[in-house]
Amino acid sequence: DLLRPSTRRPRRRSGTEFGPGARTRADLIQEPRCAMDLTRIAPTDRQHIQKYSPVGFTVSGVEFAGPVLVFPQESLSWNADAPDSLLLNDVSAIIDRAGELDLCLLGCGNRITRVEACVRQVLKDVGVSVEPMDTGAACRTFNVLLAEGRAVMAALFPPTEP
| Model pLDDT for residues 2-57, shown as the tens digit of each residue | 555 556 665 555 544 445 555 555 554 454 443 333 335 556 679 999 999 999 99
CA distance from start to end of the chain: 66
What contacts 24+ positions apart, CB below 8 Å, involve 74-82? Answer: 74/47, 75/47, 78/155, 78/156, 80/155, 80/157, 82/113, 82/157
Residue 68 neighbours by CB distance under 10 Å: 26
Q: Which residue did the predictor score with more confidence, 38 or 155?
A: 155
Percent of the chain whose predicted confidence (pLDDT) is above 70: 72
Over range 119-148, report the average pLDDT.
Answer: 95
Share the mean pLDDT of the chain: 83
The pLDDT value recorded for residue 37 is 37
Three-state DSSP class for 75? strand
The pLDDT value recorded for residue 28 is 47
The pLDDT value recorded for residue 16 is 47
The pLDDT value recorded for residue 68 is 98
The pLDDT value recorded for residue 32 is 46
